[in-house]
Amino acid sequence: MTLFRSEIAMNFRFKRLSLFVAIFVVCVSTAMAASTCPSATTYASYDPNPPGTGPSITCVTDNLQFSLFGFTSSALGGAVTPTPGSVAVTVEDPAVNPLLDGAGFSYNPGMSVSAGQEQDVAISFEVTALSGSITDLFIHFNGSVSSPTGGASTNYSETYCTSLDTNCNTFQVSDPPANLSQLITIPATTTLFITKDFTVSGGTNGSAGISQVVNEFSTSTVPEPREIGLLGLAMIGLVLAHRRIKASVN
């Protein structure tokens, strides 16, 4: 009877220790994560306004980490030059909206020009999959023009590189012709360097504008290396603890 009670006590202590280790692993993994990307804000929260006045942030949305944010802009013909503070940012998170292609951002650059005017905005950043690989890119915008025959136009191009400034490819959407969305599949990669460029031109007698630009990334998810390491250490600890408890009972 005494041995039986000892076995019960040992099993209880082992289960309690297992629960403690599991909680510890989750807490450590959470603590190691970067801050969540700010939403319902402006791009100045990512890259200070004016550019170069401070370092960009590093943040996480879903399974992706974003860093090295950059911003440049220009204007012609008396149009207002966009700034980081004039570009609204909303985070696209599939955990909140499962209909999304993947995590990313929705921008409102507030771009609007009339005849003889142009505006251009370029946003850049590094995106890294915290686990698994990035497998496709989705872009969309709502560019519109009043007089395409007069040369009015809107364009959104995206360049993605697998290393900084090398191994780069570009794809785009535009109006006119009305091609507002595009989804492309890419060879699985952990990190991409992204540069997106938005341009509006009023042409000779028209107007053009952009009020939404979306960029999303899909990933194939596998256990994160650091989590695998933590779980491995936890399992070793459990085995050693179980042996010690069993030895003390015997």
Q: Which residue carries 């785009």 as its tokens?
A: 172
User: Is 40-222 CATH 3.40.30?
Assistant: no
Predicted pLDDT of residue 84: 94
Spatial distance between the Cα atoms of 205 and 43, rounded to a whole number of angstroms: 31
At a CB cut-off of 8 Å and minimum separation 6, what does 28 contact? 230
Please give the chain's pLDDT, 250 residues, in tens.
554 445 544 454 544 544 444 434 443 444 344 799 999 999 999 987 666 577 899 999 999 999 999 999 999 999 999 999 999 999 999 988 888 999 999 999 999 999 999 999 999 999 999 999 999 999 999 999 999 999 999 999 999 999 988 899 999 999 999 999 999 999 999 999 999 999 999 999 999 999 999 999 999 965 444 444 545 555 555 555 556 655 565 5
Residue 111, judged by CB atoms within 10 A of its CB (0-12, 13-18, 19+), counts as buried
Residue 98, judged by CB atoms within 10 A of its CB (0-12, 13-18, 19+), counts as exposed
Predicted pLDDT of residue 48: 79
235: left (phi over 0), alpha (psi -120 to 50) or beta: alpha
Q: Are 124 and 68 in contact (CB under 8 A)?
A: yes
Predicted pLDDT of residue 165: 81
At a CB cut-off of 8 Å and minimum separation 6, what does 108 contact? 87, 88, 90, 211, 212, 213
Q: Which two three-digit tokens encode residue 207?
A: 């107007």
Spatial distance between the Cα atoms of 164 and 38, rounded to a whole number of angstroms: 25
